[in-house]
């Protein structure tokens, strides 16, 4: 089994999880880029575009990490696994 530079083993599912996460986050990122384009096209100060970009990238990153590590696959309810 191949290993990452840190020494932890890489499972075969890692690539699929990354792709699935990217596929789920892509629409969010696309909507953000469209809004960014609209802000710039309307002729507003480019500083507003800079103000929109960091939250958009941050939320896309958080969503990618959440989907990557399977927050949607965790069992619901109370118990020791929560």
Best-predicted range by mean pLDDT among 9-18, 29-38, 46-55?
Answer: 29-38
Answer yes or no: is 1 within a domain: no
Tokens of 62: 């958080």
Q: Which helix (H) or strand (E) holds 35?
A: helix 13-41
> pLDDT tens-digit profile of 40-80?
888 878 787 788 888 889 999 999 998 888 876 766 666 66
Burial of 47 (0-12, 13-18, 19+ CB in 10 A): exposed
Q: Is residue 15 part of a domain?
A: no
State the total domains in the chain: 1
Is residue 44 one of the residues assigned to a domain?
Answer: yes
Let me know if residue 25 belongs to a domain. Answer: yes
Residue 26 lies in a domain: yes
Query: Does any domain span residue 65?
Result: yes
From CA 76, how far away is CA 25, in angstroms rounded? Answer: 23
The whole domain housing 43 covers 20-70
Cβ-contact 75, 81 below 8 angstroms: yes
- Please state the length of the chain: 82
> Quick check: 6 pLDDT over 80?
no
Tokens 């960014």 locate to 36
């Amino acid at each position: 089994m191949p290993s990452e530079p840190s020494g932890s083993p890489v499972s075969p599912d890692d690539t699929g999880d990354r792709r699935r996460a990217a596929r789920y986050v892509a629409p969010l990122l696309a909507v953000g880029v469209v809004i960014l384009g609209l802000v710039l096209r309307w002729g507003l100060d480019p500083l507003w575009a800079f103000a929109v970009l960091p939250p958009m990238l941050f939320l896309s990153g958080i969503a990618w990490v959440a989907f990557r590590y399977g927050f949607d696959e965790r069992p619901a309810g109370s118990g020791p696994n929560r």
